[in-house]
């Protein structure tokens, strides 16, 4: 039954994703609401997640229930902020998102932003993979117009759902000139985070998205953007025709490197190894990484530690300094799941040039 549900969800997602042109980027647009010529136009692209879910009265589990238009209709006062158009891209839990679906989303968002009347886009998305999905779009969108990812921790049947206020804040942010040059942001519970630095930090609390040492970009308060910071850096990469396969393997005490060898033998084009501390692995793991390199598979080291970056400090076998000398890429301060997306986009650009590849992780 569960398998049937997932495949139906996947099917409906793909149907929406390919709707209108047979291309994974095309999406279905709804009719614009009555428009006020004095207000900016904002496009809301809906993809699913808890924000669009309700409890099934029979099972008690939250399931996809609301369309993009339903989400917008549930926000009191939205029509006073902007003329909102809705594009329904998919309606899936974000645990079913893939880099290929995000590539299609990039195309759908760029298409919406091409319209000179459109001020920016709000993407509604599940929170579980929002930190990744928003970063993928931050890397690949062509447009510089504001794009805000938004979701909810409480579904639409909760006594106090957070979705409507989050959408109102996101649309307000897009319309504000204070919110310029931030690239893609993740804005929930009033806090504005850069897509590059944001992480989900709490499984069920509405205050879950945080930017760690980097800090928030700003705060939404009484319909205004309070700007705290400029964003630090932004890398832009083109969408390749086909995304390479990049796997993530964790190091841990006593790991034997077999999963790295398995990934290489199963056709990985690149690997992320999540190391300990400032980017160190044990000798078995190091030998497995050398095996990957001998097969032409680039390896990027990240760390399991929440704050700080991977550094070339330790010179013994598997230490960061030794790995750097061996041509293994140190992944800076990106968490593994974001380093994976950057590597997927950078491999086709670098065309085997390891120094060029490493350069993307130093920016
Ligand atoms: N399961 C949900 C999702 O990521 C969680 C959420 O949206 O808050 O789609």
On the question of pLDDT at 1 being above 60, the answer is no
Give the pTM: 0.91
Question: How confident is the model over 142-200, as pLDDT tens digits?
Answer: 999 999 999 999 999 999 999 999 999 999 999 999 999 999 999 999 999 999 999 99
Q: Number of C-alpha atoms within 13 angstroms, CB side, residue 167?
A: 30
Range with lowest mean pLDDT among 98-102, 268-272, 349-353:
349-353
Rounded to 10°, the helix 130-140/336-350 angle is 30
Query: CATH: 3.30.465.10, 3.90.1530.30, 3.40.50.40, 3.30.200.20. Which one for 246-362?
Result: 3.40.50.40
Ligand 1, atom 7, lies closest to the CA of 126
The rounded Å distance from CA 130 to ligand 1 centre is: 9
Q: Which of 41, 47, 50, 172 is catalytic?
A: 50
Listed residue (99, 145, 64, 82) closest to 342, CA to CA: 99
CA distance 44 to 149: 10
**Residue 28 — very low, low, confident or very high, per pLDDT cuts 50/70/90?**
very low
Count Cβ atoms below 10 Å from residue 111 Cβ, excluding itself: 19
CA distance 175 to 331: 35
Residue appearing with tokens 């929002």? 130
37 or 181: which leads in pLDDT: 181
Q: Which residues lie across from 329 on neighbouring strands?
A: 300
Backbone φ/ψ region at 318: left (φ over 0), alpha (ψ -120 to 50), beta: left
Is 7-227 a domain of CATH 3.60.150.10?
A: no
In this prediction, residue 33 carries a pLDDT of 53
Average pLDDT over residues 298-322: 93
- Ligand 1 pocket mutation pick from 13, 66, 93 by most atoms within 8 angstroms of CB: 93
Domain edges within the chain: 7-227, 246-362
The rounded Å distance from CA 93 to ligand 1 centre is: 6
CA distance 157 to 77: 20
What the block records as the tokens of 353 is 């040039």
The rounded Å distance from CA 161 to ligand 1 centre is: 13
Q: Are 112 and 86 in contact (CB under 8 A)?
A: no
Question: How confident is the model over 237-292, as pLDDT tens digits?
Answer: 999 999 999 999 999 999 999 999 999 999 999 999 999 999 999 999 999 999 99
Average pLDDT over residues 81-103: 97
50 has catalytic annotation: yes
Same fold for the pair 7-227 and 246-362: yes
């Amino acid at each position: 039954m569960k398998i049937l549900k997932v495949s139906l969800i996947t099917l409906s997602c793909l149907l929406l994703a390919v709707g209108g042109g047979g291309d994974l980027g095309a999406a279905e647009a709804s009719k614009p609401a009555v428009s006020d010529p004095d207000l900016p136009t904002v496009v809301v692209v809906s993809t699913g997640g808890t924000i669009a879910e309700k409890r099934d009265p029979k099972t008690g589990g939250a399931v996809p229930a609301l369309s993009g238009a339903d989400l917008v209709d549930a926000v009191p006062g939205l029509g006073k902020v902007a003329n909102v158009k809705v594009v329904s891209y998919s309606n899936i839990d974000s645990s079913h998102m893939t880099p290929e679906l995000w590539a299609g989303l990039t195309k759908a968002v760029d298409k919406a932003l091409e319209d000179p009347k459109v001020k920016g886009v709000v993407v509604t998305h599940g929170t579980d993979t929002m930190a990744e999905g928003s970063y993928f779009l931050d890397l690949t969108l062509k447009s510089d117009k504001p794009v805000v990812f938004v979701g909810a921790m409480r579904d639409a049947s909760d006594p106090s759902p957070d979705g409507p206020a989050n959408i109102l804040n996101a649309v307000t942010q897009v319309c504000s000139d204070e919110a310029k040059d931030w690239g893609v942001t993740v804005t929930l519970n009033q806090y504005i985070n850069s897509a590059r630095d944001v992480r989900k930090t709490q499984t069920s609390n509405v205050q879950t998205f945080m930017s760690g040492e980097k800090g928030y970009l700003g705060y939404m308060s009484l319909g205004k953007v309070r700007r705290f910071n400029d964003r630090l850096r932004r890398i832009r990469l083109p969408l390749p025709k086909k995304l390479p396969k990049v796997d993530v393997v964790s190091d841990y005490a006593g790991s034997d490197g077999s999963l790295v060898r398995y990934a290489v033998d199963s056709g990985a084009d690149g690997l992320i190894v999540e190391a300990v501390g400032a980017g160190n692995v044990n000798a078995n793991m190091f030998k497995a990484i050398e095996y990957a390199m001998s097969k032409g598979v680039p390896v990027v080291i990240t760390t399991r530690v929440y704050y700080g970056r991977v550094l070339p400090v330790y010179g013994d076998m598997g230490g960061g300094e030794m790995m750097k000398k061996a041509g293994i890429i140190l992944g800076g301060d990106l968490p593994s799941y974001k380093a994976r997306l950057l590597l997927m986009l950078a491999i086709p650009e670098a065309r085997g040039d390891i120094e060029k590849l490493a350069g993307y992780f130093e920016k």
